[in-house]
Amino acid sequence: MSQYYLFQDSKKCIGCHACEIQCKTNKDLPEGPKPCQIIQVGPKFINNLPKMSFVFMPCFHCENPWCVSACPTGAMQQRASDGIVFVEKDLCVGCKTCVSACPWGAPQWNPDTGKVEKCDYCKDRLDQGLAPACVTTCTTGCLKFGKVEDMTQIRRQRHAESVASPENSSF
């Protein structure tokens, strides 16, 4: 598993798709491939209130990535230093084996190059000390990137505040 975690604070996400556009802009991609994507679920009424979910789907950068094992040319790789899964374009022959292998649809097809694109957490930006493109400009700041342990802390904090709030609490 990569040592990073990309956390989506769904309470603050407004499903605006700026992350998708910024990602494509940063990678200069044509129409088609979306290395990250917001999938809207709902809205539906829950307790008389309309609720909708926006699920952020980048690559999960697995510990034992199906796509890397499946790739016959060695184009799909896992970076030794931090576990980021990325595709080395020069080695990709467009066989789509990784597309078949990934359970989450992370590898994306680029019709212009006939090769695969995928989320690499913007490793070029990380190497300059920057955050991934999607995180840097997220409209509400609901995307956060960092070491896994820091990200779980945000979730715990939010949950604690939620259960301890006066209207939800028995304290």
Partner 1 sequence: MDKDVFSLCFMCSVRCPIQVGVKDGHVNWIQGNPHVAGIDGRLCPRGSAGKSLLYDDQRLQSPLIRVGDRGSGNWRKTSWEEALDYVGTRLKEIKDTHGGHAIAFGERAQLATHVSKTFLKALGSPNHFTHDALCKGSMNTACRSMFGYTDGQMGINYANTKHIVLYGRNIFESINVKEVNTLMDALEKGAKLTYIDPRVNVTASKAHRYWMIRPGTDLALNYGLIHVILKERLYDAEFVDKWVHGLTDLQDFIKDYTPEWAETETGIPAGEIKALAKEISREKPAVIFHYGYRCASHQNEIYMRRSILMLNALMGSVEAKGGIFFKKGPGAEGGKPARKLTEQEFPKIEVPRFDKVGTPDFPLPDPAHGVAQRLPYAILNEDPYPIKALINYRLDPLMSIADTNGTKRALDKLDLIVTIDINYSDIAWYSDVILPESIFLERTDCIQQMNGLKPMMFLREKAVEPRYDTMDGAIILKRIGERLGIGNYFPYENMDELVDWQLEGTGFTREDFAAKGFVSYGKSPIFWDRNDIPFKTPSKKIEFRSSLLEDAGFPSFPPYESPAAPPDKKFRLVVGRTGLHTHISTQNVPYLNELMKENLLWINTEKAAALGIADGATVAVASACGNGRIKAFVTDLIHPEAVFMVHGFGHEAKLAKRSYNQGCSDALLQENLYDKVGGSPAFHDTFVTVTPV
**Contacts with partner 1, residue ranges (CB under 8 A):** 12, 14-18, 20-22, 24-26, 31, 42-43, 45, 48-52, 136-141, 165
Asked whether 46 and 55 are in contact (CB, 8 A), the reply is no
Task: Considering the complex, state which of residue 51 and residue 69 has its C-beta at the smaller distance from partner 1.
Answer: 51
To partner 1, the closest distance from the beta carbon of 8 in angstroms equals 14
To partner 1, the closest distance from the beta carbon of 9 in angstroms equals 10
To partner 1, the closest distance from the beta carbon of 39 in angstroms equals 13
What does the H/E/C string look like for 46-102? ECCEEEEEEEEECCCCCCCCHHHHHCCCCCEEECCCCCCEEECHHHCCCCCHHHHHC
Task: Considering the complex, state which of residue 19 and residue 68 has its C-beta at the smaller distance from partner 1.
Answer: 19
Task: Considering the complex, state which of residue 50 and residue 103 has its C-beta at the smaller distance from partner 1.
Answer: 50
To partner 1, the closest distance from the beta carbon of 45 in angstroms equals 8
Angle at 22 between CA 16 and CA 26, to 5 degrees: 170
Task: Considering the complex, state which of residue 15 and residue 35 has its C-beta at the smaller distance from partner 1.
Answer: 15
Quote the CA–CA distance of 64 and 27 in Å, as a whole number: 25
Quote the CA–CA distance of 2 and 62 in Å, as a whole number: 7
